[in-house]
Structure 1
Amino acid sequence: MTRRSAPAVLPPSLRVWLGLHAVLAALVVVALGFLYADDSQPGGADARIWRAVDGAGPAWRHVALAMDFLGEPAGAATLVLVTVTGCLLLRHPRAAVLVVAGTGMTVGTATLLKVLVGRTIHDGNLSYPSGHTAFATALTLVLALLATGRLGLGSSAGMLLVLAAALVAGAAMGWAQVALGAHYPTDVLGGWCTALAVIPATAWLVDRTADRLDDRMADAGRWERR
């Protein structure tokens, strides 16, 4: 059996369950995309949730703006840089790769979906799904996967940690987007599900690619010793 250079970013105990959640999340993204394609009005659920969060005071608006900044290019790049540095200090290069590849794939997917779905808000701004929510959820999912692996959690505890972390991050950024009027609530749900669909798949690809590289390096080392 080949010795791996670093632990997997997708813990084996979570692969099946996260895979199932990823498929369900992808189905939700597609269903909402069809439902709100080329739309420019809030749905019934959107209107009810908007009324519930309407009227946030100045202090809460400042909190929402601070959250929103973390999803903007400058804030997001800073978060990614800090997280990658932390992964490298922990000697977990696969996690560092997943931070960049996972968040990049998630935001890229959200951007592509916006063009394909064509839902708009405020003078034609593309809105579905929420890229800010997708990014925040994706980064948090990577951190939760890293924590699950380092703590050696089983499937139940690991799934609880991963889903709870994703829910908190998605809800926090989603609230900010809705409170600021930047997105419909269903845009937020679509962004959250986009991250849930993309991150497990990207983590699996990172592990598979790294394992193949490890095998090739091991084979090359054996040939040199002959």
Structure 2
Amino acid sequence: MTGRRAPAVLPPSLRVRLGLIAALAALVVVVLGVLYAGHDKPGRVDRWIIPPTADSVRPPWRHVALALDFLGEPAGSTMLVVAIVTGCLLLRRPRAAALFVAGVAMAVGTATLLKHLVGRTIHGAGNLSYPSGHTAFFTALALIVALLATGRLGLGRTAGTSLVLAAALVAGAAMGWAQVALGAHYPTDVLGGWCTALAVIPATAWLVDRMADQLADRTADAGRREHR
């Protein structure tokens, strides 16, 4: 099977809608970054959300928050990605494996770069907080899984978009709740991390498809020349 015949990781039916959503998400990331650049205190929205959220998280929910937080830490995220990529390779889905690696790297890398550019801090000058890398990571994973499920199930534009957005919302809300509950991030940091994943993953998926198709074309051309 050539790369051209392999299923695209970004379903064609979703490209336009997800492109628009990605552009809007990128705009939100930029606007929030400008608003909170250099800040070291919660904003008005943050102050409205933080007190009741933090005060309400006690065992056993605190244990849930800590478990979610671990999945976004280097050790937890590495184990999770390695397990998923191994599964993709065993199922002979190299594009999916490539997207998981590239997508997670782009989402986390973008969040890390933005942290240094924006310079927002929490609990001291050394704790850069905007956007939340944990939320970007977990949302990115959910987005990729939803994209692959959409292609696998052959969902249409509306159903596919709904699945992708629902997966992103659930994953982002779960990790975002954990980060705010543990006092690691402000709510607006979480929103920035969520939007970072929404902005980065569709573009990364498109690039993976394009590069895989180009490689498949070159391989096919080389094969035809060999048989002449």
Q: What is the TM-score with the length of structure 2 in the denominator?
A: 0.97
CA distance in 2, matches of 1:136, 1:208: 25
Q: How does 1:8-157 map to 2 (within 5 A)?
A: 8-55=8-55, 56-124=57-125, 125-157=127-159
CA contact (8 A) 1:6 1:93 kept: no
**Letter of the structure 1 residue corresponding to residue 81 of structure 2:** V
CA distance in 1, matches of 2:106, 2:129: 18
3-state SS of 1:120 partner: coil
CA contact (8 A) 2:3 2:213 kept: no
TM-superposed deviation, 1:92: 1.2
**Letter of the structure 2 residue corresponding to residue 22 of structure 1:** A
TM-superposed deviation, 1:91: 1.9
CA distance in 1, matches of 2:201, 2:140: 6
CA distance in 1, matches of 2:215, 2:80: 28
3-state SS of 1:181 partner: coil
Correspondence for 2:211 among 200, 209, 212: 209
**Letter of the structure 2 residue corresponding to residue 62 of structure 1:** H
Moved beyond 4 Å, runs of 4+: none
**Letter of the structure 2 residue corresponding to residue 85 of structure 1:** T
Structure 2 equivalent of residue 176 of structure 1? 178
CA distance in 2, matches of 1:183, 1:3: 41
Identity within the alignment, %: 76
Structure 2 equivalent of residue 6 of structure 1? 6
**Letter of the structure 1 residue corresponding to residue 131 of structure 2:** P
3-state SS of 2:60 partner: helix
CA distance in 1, matches of 2:217, 2:165: 32
CA contact (8 A) 1:11 1:148 kept: yes
CA distance in 2, matches of 1:110, 1:3: 31
CA distance in 2, matches of 1:177, 1:193: 16
CA distance in 2, matches of 1:99, 1:54: 32
Structure 1 equivalent of residue 187 of structure 2? 185
Q: Which residues of structure 2 form unaligned runs of 5+?
A: none
**Letter of the structure 2 residue corresponding to residue 18 of structure 1:** L
RMSD between aligned alpha carbons?
1.0
Q: Which residues of structure 1 form unaligned runs of 5+?
A: none
TM-superposed deviation, 1:3: 6.8
CA distance in 1, matches of 2:111, 2:54: 26
3-state SS of 1:100 partner: helix
TM-superposed deviation, 1:58: 2.2
